[in-house]
Amino acid sequence: MKYLSEYRDPVLAQKVIENIKKISHTPVNLMEVCGTHTVTISKNGIRQVMPKTVTLLSGPGCPVCVTANEDIDKTIWLARQPGVILATFGDMMKVPSSYSNLSAEKAEGVDIRVVYSTLDALQVADDNPDKKVIFFGVGFETTSPTIALSILEARKRKLKNYSVLARHKLIPPAMAALLSLGEVKLHGFICPGHVSTIIGSKPYEFIAEEHGIPCVISGFEPLDVLQTIYMLVRQAENGEARVEVQYKRSVRPEGNTTALKILDEVFEVCDADWRGIGIIPNSGFKLKEEYSDFDADKIFDVDVPPPKDDPPGCSCGEILRGVKFPYQCKLFGKACTPERPIGPCMVSSEGACAAYYRYGTG
């Protein structure tokens, strides 16, 4: 298929790999902060064909994985309340919290509906006017505009029984937080294509300017990622640090101005809790005061017990920070599998542990 097979051409891929090997002399650690990139790298064996000088690390690129225990605990508490229907995307169902998960709660009779879009959640609210429908808003900048639109649409329809528990995350502040932690020496970021389609390339400029770390926004096909690695290695070898866009067919420097306008209309930036990292300033979204009648945080008086730490032996936090590879977790592939996940990194198909488990450790 045109525009697909050409990005998977094995002959071209081999040429790019050889070019990477030719220019790579200094050891570099490159981190992807997108779960889809993690899957592409693992599925296509990209890690295995890199020269010894290039190490690929997985970061906090899976929105399901970085959702904190406390936020899932609160979601479960809300779902248990009388007259409430919780709507959520399916990949959140098995994510473990301190005491339970949404799948187990649904099995116990709690009214939890898996939806494929915010329009589905609005329809649930429309069909159940006697119930309070809460949408669990999880995701990065990619999905945030659709959730903002659902609030605008709910107001337009005068739906009084629809609200959102906003737990969105913003990628650039998390990248800066990882650099500030200093646990892993990074020499470049493979920046997320989906997120960047919304926000553009400009929000990453401070990473290059203030931290001296090259950033390249990548597409999702094997040749996209290989070209991105080449571009990052080239910058590192030349002592450069700037933002480049490999994914030019979808990403513009200014981003999607329509989506950004919608985000600015409904949300304001706030601090957010990231699993494995903690509170990162200005790394989340919350509803503006003028939309407080759709804000589940303000509508419901929540009384949730303190969250528990991840289960003993689970290294999900360290994996999300790039400190460990999934196979270095004692539970990986033994007690923790996609069928019986202990940590969230094994739940979502975009989680690093799930990708390593499915396609090999490399």
Residues 6+ apart with CB under 8 A from 32: 38, 41, 56, 57, 58, 59, 61, 189, 190, 192, 218
CATH level 3 topology of 1-362: Rossmann fold (3.40.50)
Q: Is the dihedral of CA 96, 278, 355, 166 positive or negative?
A: positive
What are the backbone angles phi and psi of residue 302, rounded to the nearest 5°? -95, 135
**Collapsing DSSP states into helix, strand and coil, what is residue 44?**
coil
pLDDT of residue 224: 97
pLDDT of residue 361: 65
**C-alpha–C-alpha distance, residues 213 and 185, integer Å:** 10
**Collapsing DSSP states into helix, strand and coil, what is residue 335?**
coil
pLDDT tens for the chain, residues 1 to 362? 566 778 888 899 999 999 999 999 999 999 999 999 999 999 999 999 999 999 999 999 999 999 999 999 999 999 999 999 999 999 899 998 998 999 999 999 999 999 999 999 999 999 999 999 999 999 999 999 999 999 999 999 999 999 999 999 999 999 999 999 999 999 999 999 999 999 999 999 999 999 999 999 999 999 999 999 999 999 999 999 999 999 999 999 999 999 999 999 999 999 999 999 999 999 999 999 999 999 999 999 988 889 988 889 999 999 999 999 999 999 999 999 998 999 999 999 899 999 999 998 65
Longest dimension (CA), the chain: 66
pLDDT of residue 8: 85
Residues 6+ apart with CB under 8 A from 258: none
**C-alpha–C-alpha distance, residues 174 and 197, integer Å:** 18
**C-alpha–C-alpha distance, residues 127 and 32, integer Å:** 41
Residues 6+ apart with CB under 8 A from 296: 78, 134, 163, 164, 165, 166
- CB atoms closer than 10 angstroms to residue 126: 14
Q: How far is CA 238 from the centre of its chain?
A: 31
pLDDT of residue 302: 82
Q: Where are the alpha helices (DSSP H) in the chain?
A: 10-23, 35-43, 46-49, 63-66, 69-79, 102-107, 118-127, 144-157, 171-181, 193-199, 205-211, 222-237, 257-266, 296-299, 316-320, 352-359
pLDDT of residue 5: 78
pLDDT of residue 66: 96
pLDDT of residue 1: 52
Q: What residues form DSSP beta bridges with 217?
A: 191, 245
pLDDT of residue 139: 94
Domain boundaries, the chain: 1-362
Q: What residues form DSSP beta bridges with 339?
A: none
